[in-house]
Amino acid sequence: MTAIIEARGLGKRYGRRQALSDCTLSVPAGRVVGLVGPNGAGKSTLLQLACGMLTPTSGSIEVLGERPASSTAQMARVGFVAQDTPTYAALSIADHLCLGAKLNPRWDAALAERRIQQLGLDPAQRAGRLSGGQRAQLALTLAVAKRPDLLLLDEPVAALDPLARRGFLQSLMEFVAETEATVVLSSHLVSDLERVCDHLIVLAASRVQAVGEIDDLLATHFRLTTARREADTLPAGMQVVQADHTDRQSTFVVRADTAVDDPSWVMEPLALEDLVLSYMTRARDTGADHRPVLETQR
């Protein structure tokens, strides 16, 4: 299967601050990819590198087989909705659609008009007067009417109330079902991501911590509770993501091919949210202490 995004050793540095380091990943076609991580982890940087708004300071990234924004033909195939779903406050909805039609060679006017109608929006309405949910829907409409093969969304639902959020995700999933486009969307809401995504990238401390199909990630991560013992005494096939100890008990989050039955421990499946949190915690702790020990456990 061809990769839609292929990053190798990708990095971005702003002055002395490294926003993204040594990012190697491959996004297969037709996936809806969730990008999750704490604020400042490099999520927006990665999305902006993918759409060509930023250029890497190290490594390389290819999108749809080309360097991002290397040609107008390539740009026409990539849709990007920036954080807070920006629109032009003084322009009407109709103006936005007109702008979209003039700027995009693959513009689907019928789709754009149908969506505005479905949403019950008045084309004469100025974007500045729309609610947060309506503005997000307008930004999504512009991005999907461009008929992109890859749609990048930077925290599109962060500012929306639950009803508007559900409406937005419904529209997004309808678009995916209709076009089989690849989508990458960043969010803090793991429950949303679990619902709409089939692939996940956990980004923390400017590095990729975990990546893969959500079903595979869930099938290979476990919580293991046992009498106090050191992580290095666990079987060789288990990689420890996180370890917590009390004076008597040890709790590990481990990555393993299957659960291993052993009377001396309890090994249970892990919810996606806990899985994400354990990778984020590990990244935070290793980043703070600069302990190389845990780095080798990857």
Taking the least distance from each CB to other proteins, the nearer of 90 and 163 is 163
Ramachandran assignment for 136, one of left (phi > 0), alpha (psi -120 to 50 degrees), beta (any other) = alpha
Smallest distance, Å, CB 69 to other proteins? 28
Cα three-residue angle 82-86-88, rounded to 5 degrees: 145
Alpha helices in 157-290 (DSSP H): 162-179, 190-196, 214-219, 272-289
Residue with tokens 């529209």: 171
Smallest distance, Å, CB 165 to other proteins? 9
Can you tell me whether residue 274 is helix, strand or coil?
Answer: helix
Inter-residue contact 257 to 273 (CB < 8 Å): no
Q: Is 196 in the site for other proteins (CB under 8 A)?
A: yes
For the chain, the C-alpha Rg in angstroms (whole number) is 21
Classify each residue of 79-108 as buried b or exposed e, where b means 16 or more C-beta atoms within 10 Å of its C-beta: bbbbbebebeeeebbebbbeebeeebeebb
Taking the least distance from each CB to other proteins, the nearer of 22 and 198 is 198
Q: Among 1, 110, 177, 227, which residue interacts with other proteins (rule: CB under 8 A)?
A: 177
Q: Is 108 in the site for other proteins (CB under 8 A)?
A: no
Q: Which stretch binds other proteins (CB under 8 A): 25-33, 103-111, 122-130, 277-285?
A: 25-33
Q: Among 22, 194, 229, 239, which residue interacts with other proteins (rule: CB under 8 A)?
A: 194
Q: Is 271 in the site for other proteins (CB under 8 A)?
A: yes
Q: Is 198 in the site for other proteins (CB under 8 A)?
A: yes
Q: Among 166, 188, 229, 284, which residue interacts with other proteins (rule: CB under 8 A)?
A: 166
Q: Which stretch binds other proteins (CB under 8 A): 126-134, 142-150, 196-204, 276-284?
A: 196-204
Smallest distance, Å, CB 61 to other proteins? 25
Smallest distance, Å, CB 267 to other proteins? 12
Q: Which stretch binds other proteins (CB under 8 A): 37-45, 58-66, 146-154, 168-176?
A: 168-176
Cα three-residue angle 211-34-134, rounded to 5 degrees: 170
Cα three-residue angle 15-41-29, rounded to 5 degrees: 110
Taking the least distance from each CB to other proteins, the nearer of 30 and 59 is 30
CA distance 56 to 48: 10
Question: Could you tell me how many residues of this chain bind other proteins (CB under 8 A)?
Answer: 23
- List beta partners, residue 80: 152
Q: Is 195 in the site for other proteins (CB under 8 A)?
A: yes
The footprint of other proteins (CB under 8 A) covers: 30-32, 166, 169-174, 176-178, 191, 194-198, 215, 218, 269, 271
